[in-house]
Structure 1
Amino acid sequence: MGPTASGKTDLAIALQEHLPVELINVDSAQIYRQLDIGSAKPDKATLAVAPHRLINILDPLESYSAADFITDATREMAEISSRGKIPLLVGGTMLYFKALLEGLSDMPPADADIRAEILKHAQDFGWASVHEQLRAVDPESAASLHPNHSQRIQRALEVYRISGVPMSLLRSEPNVGSVAQSYNIKQIALLPNNRKLIHRRIDIRFRKMMEAGFEAEVRALFQRGDLHADLPAIRSVGYRQIWQYLQGQCSLDEAVEKGIIATRQLAKRQITWLRNWPSSCEIQVDNETELLSINNICQLALKKLPVAPIYSRNMES
């Protein structure tokens, strides 16, 4: 686990040289086909050497929930384990990690018609109006959400309209779906000492994405005609800002700056999650003045993994 641009994917690939691991993606943008450059998805050459499960599994028109992730991840973990390998989950979507480790309340499945009604109301009257609708039926959930948290507001209102029960009440019930009892889980969190170093890497990476054709990638999605700004895929960091440019809401330079700022804000949220994460082994990815090499980070990770001496492929016996 770790904030964006902290080197998670590079570490996971490096660990393949030492452990019999197979990788499972835990990134809510990389699950989508056609979201390649802006999601920092490993390229084809990298995936050929280090295949990632749960990458490119959905069209951007589709939605994907934490419950869907639990179902897919547990299936992949079981298959990997059945062959004597170690499932290695890598990504920055903290909600997916939390759901997998702790389980979820028994929520009703999504309803496409109700979701469409909520989205139509949001398009006509704005998400602040939807937030007020939620406040009327589930004030506890509404109080925990900012009016800009469109996806979470949508889901909370959807749950109420399907079940007639506030999501806040359903969440008070015992969770289901946790894998904590089925696996010996080791959690590694990559964290920076100096956030300015991560911010600099984010800036450089975003501009390299633009040079690699990120605007053209989003334009191709925009020109499909069946996608819109309220879809989870299009709301992904970076995609949302370039989409706004294509809608004429800002210049391309402004979209780039907004994208960099949004990515920094994402990293801040991820770091906050991880600082309060129980049972994780923290690895500092910098020494205050520079980011550590992946080889150094890998060696630090191996020291924190009790299975490393047993499974290391570099050992003679």
Structure 2
Amino acid sequence: MIFIAGPTGSGKTSVSIGLARKIKNAEIISADSRQIYKHLSVGTAKPAGKWVNIEGYRAFIYENIPHHLIDIIEPTEFFSAGDFVELSNEAAAETKKRNNIPIFVGGTGLYIDSFIDGIAKLPQKNEQIRKELYELEKKEGRAYLHNKLKEVDPESAVNIHPNNIHRIIRALEVYHITGSPISIWHEKHKKSLKSKYEKHTIFALNWDRKILYDRINQRVEGMLENGMIEETEKILTKNPAIVNSPALKSLGYKYVVDFLNKTINFEQMKSLIQQVTRNYAKRQLTWFNKNKDINWINCDNLEIGEITEILWKKSLQSE
């Protein structure tokens, strides 16, 4: 089982395609918390593939390689790490049944860790409780809900960023459903969901910080040139209520909405998207640096083909 991790803008998609071609019988499983959404492609750097029926199964095909867990849910839907573990296990099992090799690719460290180490299966969502909590957030603000979480579950409050409203609400929701803090629930039910596969190798792409940030800045410029604004406008026209969805509050899209509402200008929007994306990359690196099992690939001064070749040779050594 091969994993290609790393921060946003590090070249994971291109390297994964190169590796899949070298392996020849590979399928890619996305570990990206944003590319799961339908209709949002440019701003999530989703591979420009299409859905195809192949030999009895349906897959998202990009560069003639089947991809899984991409383009699978509506932007209004909630998708947890537990959902990822369940669906990625299914995708990996089906891939192996076809005598193919699964390559996990993505920058969502929580997904990768949850798949490998296991995660507690959380209670079913309660839409009424969620609705009330989102309304409370709208009325009182995120800080208010984060403080409420501190009162009932101090441990989770420390681990959940005050701006991550979806995780705050999920933690409060679990508390209201079970009467138990989500941190205690995780401890009691730990590893009720986990990978069915023991052997794995994790690679992560590492760049000099300045080079990475330059890549991110250029990538954001490319997204805006290639239709991120129009993409956002189109989905809002179809469903204005989607503006409050988890997807449109994620990296970048929030500022496109502000631009469309004329509360910021184009340059401000671009600068803000670049800034939050760089900050996100920094958080990803902090997360991955905690994982001692990661094999870091130094990408400075290398072309994508050279990075792929290094990863290919290392993956052969790890077999």
- TM-score, normalised to structure 2's length? 0.90
- For residue 47 of structure 1, report the CA deviation from its aligned partner: 1.2
Equivalent residue number for residue 26 of structure 1: 31
Equivalent residue number for residue 8 of structure 1: 12
Aligned partner of 1:234 among 239, 248, 251: 248
Q: Secondary structure at the match of 2:241?
A: coil
Superposed counterparts of 1:139-288, under 5 Å: 139-173=154-188, 174-179=190-195, 182-192=197-207, 194-286=208-300
Q: Mean Cα displacement is larger for which, 135-144 or 261-270? A: 135-144
CA contact (8 A) 2:75 2:242 kept: no
* Matched AA of 1:130: L
Tell me whether 1:105 sits opposite 2:110 in the alignment.
no
Output one character per residue of 1:69-113: Cα deviation in whole Å (capped at 9) or x when no partner.
111100000011112211001111111111111111232122111
Output one character per residue of 1:222-270: Cα deviation in whole Å (capped at 9) or x when no partner.
2233434442211221112212222343222211110000110111111
Distance 1:265 1:228 in 2: 25
Tell me the C-alpha RMSD between the 2 structures.
Answer: 1.8
Equivalent residue number for residue 313 of structure 1: none
* Matched AA of 1:82: K
* Matched AA of 2:27: E
Equivalent residue number for residue 315 of structure 1: none
CA contact (8 A) 1:138 1:167 kept: yes
- For residue 60 of structure 1, report the CA deviation from its aligned partner: 0.8
- For residue 132 of structure 1, report the CA deviation from its aligned partner: 2.1
Tell me whether 1:304 sits opposite 2:314 in the alignment.
yes
In structure 2, stretches of 5+ residues that fail to align are: 51-60
**How many percent of aligned residue pairs carry the same amino acid?**
35
Equivalent residue number for residue 35 of structure 1: 40
Output one character per residue of 1:152-173: Cα deviation in whole Å (capped at 9) or x when no partner.
1111101101111011211222
* Matched AA of 1:160: Y
* Matched AA of 1:116: K
In structure 1, stretches of 5+ residues that fail to align are: 311-317
Structure 1 consecutive aligned stretches of length 4 or more whose deviation exceeds 6 Å: none
Distance 1:141 1:249 in 2: 34
Distance 1:106 1:17 in 2: 35
Paired residues, number: 303
Kindly tell me: are residues 51 and 168 of structure 1, through their superposed partners in 2, closer, same or farther at Cα, counting changes over 3 Å?
same
Distance 2:265 2:238 in 1: 21
- TM-score, normalised to structure 1's length? 0.90
Distance 1:178 1:44 in 2: 29
Distance 1:271 1:239 in 2: 22
